[in-house]
Amino acid sequence: MSLVTSAEHGESVPGVAEHVIRLRNWLGEHDAELEPYRRRSANGEIAQDVEHDRGLMSMLHDAGWGRWGWPVGAGGLGGPAILRAVLYDELAGAGIEIPEAYVMMETLASLLVEYAPQIAAVHLPAFLQGREIWCQGFSEPEAGSDLAQLRTRARPEGDGFRLSGQKVWTTLGQFSQYAAVLARTGDAASAHRGLTMIWVDLRSPGVTVRAIEASNGRAEFAEMFFDEVDIPPSGVIGQVGGGWAAAMYLLQFERGMYAWLRQAVLHRRLREAARLVAGRGTKPGPAAEQALGRAIQATAMLRARSRRTVHRLSDGENPGPEISIDKALLGIAEQATFDALRLLDWDGMALSDAGGSTTQREEWFYSRATTIFGGAIDVQRDIVAERVLMLPRTR
Ligand SMILES: Cc1cc2nc3c(=O)[nH]c(=O)nc-3n(C[C@H](O)[C@H](O)[C@H](O)COP(=O)(O)OP(=O)(O)OC[C@H]3O[C@@H](n4cnc5c(N)ncnc54)[C@H](O)[C@@H]3O)c2cc1C
């Protein structure tokens, strides 16, 4: 177990095993205060859930747990990214719902720390405290899997840019104060070479954000419209024209750390399902048993794979196209888990409107999206075939 000293704070950075023990102790000691966070907000509306999560984020920040694994210069306490992975695993292990905004933090904060430390220094402390939320504006109506076709344009204006265009499927967009937007700064034919990542204050004149309701009934994402929005020079994340490299960097964390965070949640759900079955005292039937077995297998596979990836990311290694394996395994494990839960509690999920059943139903619907967002599974499989296994291209 290594103990590294954080130069700026003079605090010792714990090794993983020590961090786990200390965090578990703290979670145990604060069991009563953490009780409200074992479930979402009382009425299950996403706006209330977002507010509810702020309380937990603030508590974790103030106790330090939400700050480990982020640089001191950006409001963290230092130490490697694996300390964040420990937090997600231990929260889920203690039966606590991981704040939805942590997904966006994993995705965007890693990008800012690497490509725009001046933005990270200002905004990450606010995010860690639960005061700010950000979103990721990549997808457009005509550009999802094929992001290089995006049309949102940032044209030079003075020292900065003017941003115009539309983004869609922006997770937590309507609750966010800032967005990382991928925009075209090159000419129309510049494909992935002419893109720039831009930090946009969503309260700027010319920005309109509209919520979109998903099939699970939750309005968790939005569409964003930009009409000649002023972007100061300090809003460029990385280099002008370097947006593709920034997006690829970010995707490592979106696909890697996110998969780890979710495996922790899936294991929790499966443990709870196993307890439910044991408590009934009757066998669930062969279809449900098989589905549960498949889910446990898929989630164990995801955890094993993801563990390695988290270590690589934490060591500063870039997994490259191999990260598509994690993303594909995640989609498979998500759907296997919620399919199994549906079979184990068919009546509750299909017929009941009680709080727990509504959440279960929403989670089942959401699991259908896990093979789409962050890169559709068909595309991930193509990447694995062509760029990891080096099989011949068929197109
Ligand atoms: C719940 C959810 C949250 C999201 N959050 C965000 C967000 O916060 N920010 C953001 O920018 N975007 C977000 N997205 C959008 C997401 O990134 C896109 O949906 C995704 O990239 C796929 O793009 P698309 O929807 O345009 O589908 P398309 O790219 O049109 O794909 C449609 C189908 O064609 C298949 N396909 C496409 N190209 C190929 C190919 N080359 N080879 C094989 N098959 C192919 C796909 O697999 C898919 O089945 C979110 C989506 C969902 C569902």
Q: What is the pLDDT of residue 6?
A: 54
Class of domain 4-132: mainly alpha
pLDDT at 393: 85
Averages of pLDDT over runs of 10 residues in the chain (395 residues) are: 46 92 98 95 85 97 98 97 98 96 95 98 98 98 94 97 98 98 94 96 98 89 98 98 97 95 97 89 91 97 98 95 97 98 85 78 93 96 96 82
Could you give the count of Cα atoms lying within 13 Å of 296 in the half-sphere of its Cβ? 11
Identify the residue whose C-alpha is closest to ligand 1 atom 16: 373
Q: Give pLDDT, residue 355.
A: 65
CATH 1.20.140.10 maps onto the chain at: 245-388
Domain ranges in the chain with CATH number 2.40.110.10: 135-241
Q: What is the pLDDT of residue 84?
A: 98
Separation of CA 195 and ligand 1 centre (Å): 19
Q: Furthest-apart CA pair in the chain: how many Å? A: 72
Closest ligand 1 atom number to CA of residue 374: 17
Q: How far is the CA of 374 from the centre of ligand 1 (A)?
A: 7
Q: What's the fold here for domain 135-241?
A: Butyryl-CoA Dehydrogenase, subunit A; domain 2 (2.40.110)
Among protein residues, the one with the nearest Cα to ligand 1's atom 13 is: 169
Using the mean position of ligand 1's atoms as its centre, give its distance from the Cα of residue 222 in Å. 15
Q: Is 225 helix (H, G, I), strand (E, B) or coil?
A: strand
* Ligand 1 atom with least separation from CA of 378: 47
- Residue 301 CA, ligand 1 centroid: distance in Å: 24
**Whether 134 contacts 178, CB under 8 Å:** yes
**Separation between Cα atoms, residue 337 and residue 321, nearest integer Å:** 26
| Residue 171 CA, ligand 1 centroid: distance in Å | 13
Best residue among 373, 383, 387, 393 to mutate for probing ligand 1, ranked by most atoms within 8 Å of CB: 373
**Every domain range in the chain assigned CATH 1.10.540.10:** 4-132
Sign (positive/negative) of CA torsion 298, 50, 248, 306?
negative
How many angstroms is it from 372 CA to the middle of ligand 1?
5
Distance CA 219, CA 210 (A): 10
State the CATH class of domain 245-388.
Answer: mainly alpha
pLDDT at 10 (0 to 100): 60
**pLDDT value for 215:** 84
Shortest CA distance to 153 belongs to which of 203, 235, 227, 236?
Answer: 227
CA of 14: how far to CAs of 20, 81, 111, in Å? Answer: 9, 12, 24
Distance between CA 197 and CA 296 in Å, rounded? 39
Ligand 1 cavity residues, CB under 6 Å: 135-139, 144-145, 169-171, 221, 369, 372-373, 375-376, 378-379, 382
Residue from 151, 175, 367, 379 whose mutation best tests the ligand 1 pocket (most atoms within 8 A of CB):
379
